[in-house]
Amino acid sequence: MEGKASFGSLLDEVLPRYDFNEVHRTVVPGDPSRAYEALKAVSVGEIRLLEPLIGVRRLPALIRHGRFERSERSAPALDEFLRAGFLVLAERSPDEFVFGAVGRFWSLTSNQPLRTVRTPEDFAAFAEPGYVKVALNFALTPAETGTHLTTETRIAGTDELATARFRRYWIVIRLPSGAIRRSWLRAVRRRLERG
């Protein structure tokens, strides 16, 4: 889905134009500050399908170097993404958190984020053909019965070929990828319901 961002969010500043996007939302108990803490604390083991996805992403390292790093189930999921090469692109606590990466995620052998993209400025300036930029946010706003928690994923190709390659990959990965984000939202709700 092509689109132009609406006004106001950090995600709009990070990746205002994109070729693909997907949005998931829920209402969780508690105020945005508590929900923000819960969001950042959700562990790898609490998010269905995340461990297998991380395993697939780490296959190239196993093939090239003969080693396979396992994820720590109790580690915060956001920390695992950062360890894998994603980076924090913007943060305004407790309203919004944005992270992302640049890569060739459709590739069987080069599906890791580029480690040369180290800062939000690197991400913004990156324009080398053959890649996509991926940015994900979690946005929190007060609700009558708690907090509206929304996550949006945006993907922008750096050229037409990369966009076409990602489109084919998106057909395969969109459902499991969306399931991970919905599971993440449910994990936040469970943490808050437990108090």
Q: For the chain, which domains are there? A: 3-194 (3.30.530)
Give residue 6's pLDDT.
Answer: 41
CA distance 116 to 30: 39
pTM higher than 0.85, yes or no? yes
Q: Are 105 and 111 in contact (CB under 8 A)?
A: yes
pLDDT digit string (tens) for 19-40? 999 999 999 999 999 999 999 9
Say if residue 32 is preceded by a cis peptide, omega within 30 of 0. no
Per-residue model confidence (pLDDT) at position 50:
83
What digits encode the pLDDT tens for the residues 60-90? 554 455 554 555 788 999 998 998 899 999 9
Where do we find the tokens 């929900």? Answer: 35
Q: Which of 75, 70, 79, 65 is nearest to 52 (CA)?
A: 70
- Is residue 55 over pLDDT 80? no
